[in-house]
């Protein structure tokens, strides 16, 4: 009986074991097979497919993002069961529209797929939420809303997550946002100190809400009157 299993990688790796790819070209490497499957099934919704540094990017019509991701998650030949990230990109070139990006990973098939949707210029920054497909989208979409101002239709609790609730200066990662913020330093400090640090938790977030029935009588009375802060 061997105590250690020898893991051979690279050129010596046995068949079937994942290998670190080498000499991947900038563009034109082999695309993820899911891209072809998507083009066959959603021909109209798939705008184009790019392969950059070996990673496949699928540009999807913003109206059908949810449908596409739902299929990628549910279909037995895809099974993208892990949502790595939801974010957005705003380019320095003002002509290029804002993109929303989903990073999907299929653990059974060891695939990685990047789905992008460009929100056309002049349209409201809105897109469908994938919260009902991946619960992980909850905070990711909130962060994306907080930083870029993109509203996710169907998200149950879309509010700021990194900045505080009463933050009034806008969306910090947008290109028109000044690095130091819109307000003066003393005004920023005044507003920050005026926030109530405990008011950002909703009752749904507090685990105390789950145990409401077992709480002491006086605490139940305080909470039922709408009091939300501690101390």
Q: Which residues are near another protein by CB under 8 A?
A: 92, 162-164, 169, 172, 175-190, 192-197
Grouping H, G, I as helix, E, B as strand and the rest as coil, residue 128 is strand
Closest approach of another protein to the CB of residue 155, in Å = 22
Closest approach of another protein to the CB of residue 164, in Å = 5
Bridge partners of 227? Answer: none
Closest approach of another protein to the CB of residue 70, in Å = 35
Phi, psi of 215 (to 5 degrees): -70, 155
User: Helices 33-41 and 65-74 sit at what angle, rounded to 10 degrees?
Assistant: 120
Choose between 6 and 193: whose C-beta lies nearer to another protein.
193
Choose between 187 and 221: whose C-beta lies nearer to another protein.
187
Choose between 49 and 173: whose C-beta lies nearer to another protein.
173
Closest approach of another protein to the CB of residue 216, in Å = 23
Check if the beta carbon of residue 150 is closer than 8 Å to that of residue 123.
no
Phi, psi of 25 (to 5 degrees): -70, 155
Choose between 59 and 177: whose C-beta lies nearer to another protein.
177
Check if the beta carbon of residue 112 is closer than 8 Å to that of residue 100.
no
CA distances from 219 to 59, 180, 201, 214, 225 (A): 52, 42, 17, 10, 10
Give the Cα separation of 36 and 58 in Å (integer): 10
Closest approach of another protein to the CB of residue 87, in Å = 18
Grouping H, G, I as helix, E, B as strand and the rest as coil, residue 75 is coil
Closest approach of another protein to the CB of residue 179, in Å = 5
Choose between 132 and 187: whose C-beta lies nearer to another protein.
187
Closest approach of another protein to the CB of residue 182, in Å = 6
Check if the beta carbon of residue 81 is closer than 8 Å to that of residue 73.
yes
CA distances from 220 to 150, 225, 230, 231 (A): 37, 9, 13, 15
Choose between 77 and 166: whose C-beta lies nearer to another protein.
166
Choose between 39 and 188: whose C-beta lies nearer to another protein.
188
């Amino acid at each position: 009986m061997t105590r250690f299993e020898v893991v051979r990688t690279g050129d010596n790796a046995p068949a079937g074991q994942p290998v670190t790819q080498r000499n991947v070209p900038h563009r034109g490497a082999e695309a993820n097979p899911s891209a072809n499957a998507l083009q066959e099934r959603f021909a109209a919704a798939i705008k184009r497919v790019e392969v950059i540094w070996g990673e496949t990017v699928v540009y999807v019509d913003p109206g059908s993002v949810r449908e596409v991701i739902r299929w990628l998650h549910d279909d037995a030949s895809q099974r993208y069961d892990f949502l790595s990230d939801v974010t957005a990109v705003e380019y320095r070139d003002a002509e290029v529209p804002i993109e929303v990006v989903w990073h999907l990973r299929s653990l059974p098939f060891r695939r990685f797929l990047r789905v992008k949707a460009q929100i056309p210029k002049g349209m409201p920054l809105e897109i469908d939420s994938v919260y009902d497909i991946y619960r992980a989208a909850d905070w990711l979409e909130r962060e994306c809303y907080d930083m870029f101002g993109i509203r996710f239709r169907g998200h149950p609790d879309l509010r700021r997550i990194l900045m505080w609730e009463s933050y009034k200066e806008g969306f910090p990662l947008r290109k028109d946002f000044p690095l130091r913020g819109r307000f003066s330093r003393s005004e920023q400090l005044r507003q920050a100190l005026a926030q109530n640090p405990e008011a950002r938790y909703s009752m749904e977030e507090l685990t105390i809400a789950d145990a409401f029935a077992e709480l002491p009588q006086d605490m139940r009375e305080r909470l039922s009157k709408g009091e939300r802060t501690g101390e």
